[in-house]
Amino acid sequence: MCRQAFSGIMKKQKVIPRKKTGPTATDKGEPVVVRMHTPQLKALDAWIAHQKPPFPSRPEAVRRLVELALANSKKQPVRFSEKIAAKAMELAARAIDGLMDPSASADEKAVGKRRLLQGPSVFREVRADQEK
């Protein structure tokens, strides 16, 4: 009778953790899934092939390229030397002189030339090569 009384009680089940698939995470980071087209993957694989051995995996290559892009985005705009800027201004002035109407007065030519060299007022505000 004793045996029948305990037969209705369920045995305690052991919890077996599921095995994780794939390699273990190397760092605490948030996974990002990116879908890439074939031309992008070919370009990525070509970039990997040009690296020094040991070659990075695709995820590591993407991380490196993102780091490079972010580092380059923080750089200041390229500033040309005064000499190069003066030479460019001189060449532009010569080109404008050749396009001007020969029958225009000297004042009209000077105003038109100044406007062309400085650019439209809308763009003057955003130009990085001139001080505000």
User: pLDDT digit string (tens) for 93-129?
Assistant: 888 888 888 888 888 888 888 888 777 777 766 666 5
Q: Are residues 63 and 93 in the same domain?
A: no
d(C-alpha 26, C-alpha 51), whole Å:
21
Q: To 10 degrees, what angle do helices 38-49 and 58-73 make?
A: 90
Confidence of residue 26 (pLDDT cuts 50, 70, 90): low
Query: Is residue 11 in some structural domain?
Result: no
Please compute the mean of the pLDDT values over residues 54-60 and round it to a whole number.
Answer: 91
Query: Is residue 7 in some structural domain?
Result: no
Q: Are residues 106 and 88 in the same domain?
A: yes
Total count of domains within the chain: 2
Q: Are residues 66 and 100 in the same domain?
A: no
Q: Are residues 116 and 89 in the same domain?
A: yes
User: How many percent of the chain have pLDDT more than 90?
Assistant: 22
Confidence of residue 24 (pLDDT cuts 50, 70, 90): low
Q: Are residues 49 and 67 in the same domain?
A: yes
* Choice between 9 and 6, residue whose per-residue pLDDT is larger: 9
Query: Is residue 8 in some structural domain?
Result: no
State the residue range of the domain holding 46.
38-73
pLDDT at 37: 94
Q: Are residues 68 and 89 in the same domain?
A: no
The closest of 24, 25, 59 to 45, measured between CA atoms, is 59
